[in-house]
């Protein structure tokens, strides 16, 4: 786990070990690892002189941070009111079936993470599915398969 410490150390140096940069530091670590490793959080707390519990309070407060390892592709299904009435839950259950994971979990091969969100603010194009920042408007159950296939692992040709 020394590799984590080294990476985090360089992130901290980039932010001059400033307490006020805590969120920015966590964002950098999240970008690097796709989640916040425990060692990284402990090291950040120690280096900044911030109680560990406060670092964790921040890390658990924001949805952008995850304490569990996330997959390479983040699938977010909107379940806000507008998307809900247009069939958001059905699309979610289709993803659950296709990926064989429940919301909040990651596939075993660490390829997909499935998450739900309460509203993305673009209700007009609902039901919305977001994969890695790409929006899929007016999603239907039929479109789920093509979305999954688009991001599925590229098969190595033999």
Partner 1 sequence: MIELKLNGLNVKAEEGWTLLETARFYGLEIPTLCYNEGLSVFGGCRLCLVEIGEGPKARLVSSCTYPAEEGLVVRTDTKRVIEARRMMIELMVSIAPNSKKIQDLASKFNVTQVRFKVRNEECVLCGLCVRMCAEQMDGRAIGFQNRGYKKKISTPFDLRSEECRQCGGCIYICPVCQLRCQGPEADTTLCNACLTMDPTCLDHYDELQCWMYDAGRCGTCVREK
Binding site for partner 1 (CB under 8 A): 38, 41, 51-54, 56-57, 60-61
3-state secondary structure of 68: coil
Q: If we measure between CA atoms, which residue out of 74, 75, 76, 88 comes closest to residue 123?
A: 88
- Give the burial class of 68: count Cβ atoms within 10 A of its Cβ; 0-12 exposed, 13-18 middle, 19 or more buried: exposed
Complex with partner 1: residue 33 or 151, whichever CB lies closer:
33
**What is the nearest approach in angstroms of partner 1 to the Cβ of residue 49?**
12
Q: Which is nearer to partner 1, 1 or 52 (CB)?
A: 52
Q: How far is the CB of 148 from partner 1 (least distance, A)?
A: 28
The CB-side HSE value for 83 (13 A sphere, CA atoms) comes to 29
The nearer residue to partner 1, 16 or 102, going by C-beta atoms, is 102
């Amino acid at each position: 786990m020394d590799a984590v410490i080294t990476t985090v150390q360089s992130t901290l140096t980039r932010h001059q070990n400033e307490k006020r940069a805590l969120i920015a530091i966590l964002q950098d670590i999240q970008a690097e690892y796709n989640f916040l490793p425990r060692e990284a959080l402990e090291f950040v707390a120690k280096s900044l002189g911030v109680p560990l519990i406060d670092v964790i309070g921040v890390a658990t407060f924001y949805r952008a941070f995850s304490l569990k390892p996330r997959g390479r592709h983040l699938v977010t299904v909107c379940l806000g009111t507008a998307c809900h009435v247009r069939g958001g839950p059905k699309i979610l259950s289709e993803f659950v079936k296709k990926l064989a994971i429940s919301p909040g979990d990651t596939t075993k091969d660490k390829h997909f993470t499935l998450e739900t969100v309460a509203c993305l603010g673009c209700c007009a194009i609902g039901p919305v599915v977001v994969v890695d920042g790409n929006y899929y408007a007016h999603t239907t159950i039929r479109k789920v398969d093509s979305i999954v296939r688009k991001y599925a692992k590229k098969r190595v040709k033999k």
